[in-house]
Every structure is written in C-alpha cells, then in structure tokens.
Amino acid sequence: MDNDRHHPDDTPDGLTYGLLGDDTQSTPEKLDKYTGVVDWEYLKPHFDSGALIYVDPTLAITEVGQALADDDKEKIAAWLKSGDIVKPSDPHARWWQDNPQEFTALVVSPFVLMQPVRCA
C-alpha cells in the first residue's frame, strides 16, 4: 500500500485534519476538502480513541458530515436508530484488520466518518 496515504501533510491527495470552522470555505467545500481514501491502518487510531463512525454505503458520507457539522440531532438520531450510522465494535475492527480494503473517510472534528469504497 502507498504509505503517503498515511501522511496527509505530505501529499495533496491525503486526508486533511481540521475543524470545519477554521476557514472561510462553504461547508460543502470544507466537507470535500476533509474527505479522502484511506485504509484500515489509517482509521485504527480513530477507532481506538472512540471517534470513528461507520456510515452505511446507502448514505452519502458528505450528507452525514453535513448533519454533524450542522448539529442536526434529529437526522443523526434517526440514522443511529436505523443502524445507518454506527460506532464500530471490536469484531468490525478485527474484520477490517484481516480483510484489507479501502474506505472513504471524512473528518468532522472530533469525529472521523468511514465508508467502504464502492467498486465501480
């Protein structure tokens, strides 16, 4: 795997960290800026810290990010209730560790959203 992917400051295509309120771009522009493709090794520290949220592939990850940025409690609660977003557990982590794949990740501090990359 490409190790540059794990060092966002070293590559223009890496996942950038920051608070959505730290710049003057619109929220959709910021969501795009803080989105990238990563592997499990990159996400694992966020899982370990409890900041990782799995987004079902039927949802647009940016829509979930927008709801978090807007603090849309109603929408987030509905997704949690339906299981469309979940906090991954240890069995999930073991699966992703043993079955490498790529994920789209979106940083909406303090959370990191993850979603399996869809095959074309």
**What is the pLDDT averaged over residues 65-94?**
95
Question: What one-character-per-residue DSSP string does 14-55 give?
Answer: SPPP--GGGSSS-HHHHHHHTEEEEEHHHHHHHHHTT-EEEE
What pTM does this model have? 0.76
Alpha carbon distance 10, 47 (integer Å)? 23
pLDDT for residue 89: 96
Residue 20, pLDDT > 80, answer no
Domain span including residue 48: 23-116
Q: Give the model confidence (pLDDT) of 23-49 as tens digits.
A: 567 777 777 777 889 999 999 999 999
- Could you tell me if residue 47 is inside a domain? yes
Mean pLDDT lowest for which of 3-17, 38-52, 66-80, 101-115? 3-17
- Could you tell me if residue 106 is inside a domain? yes
Alpha carbon distance 38, 103 (integer Å)? 5
Domain count, the chain: 1
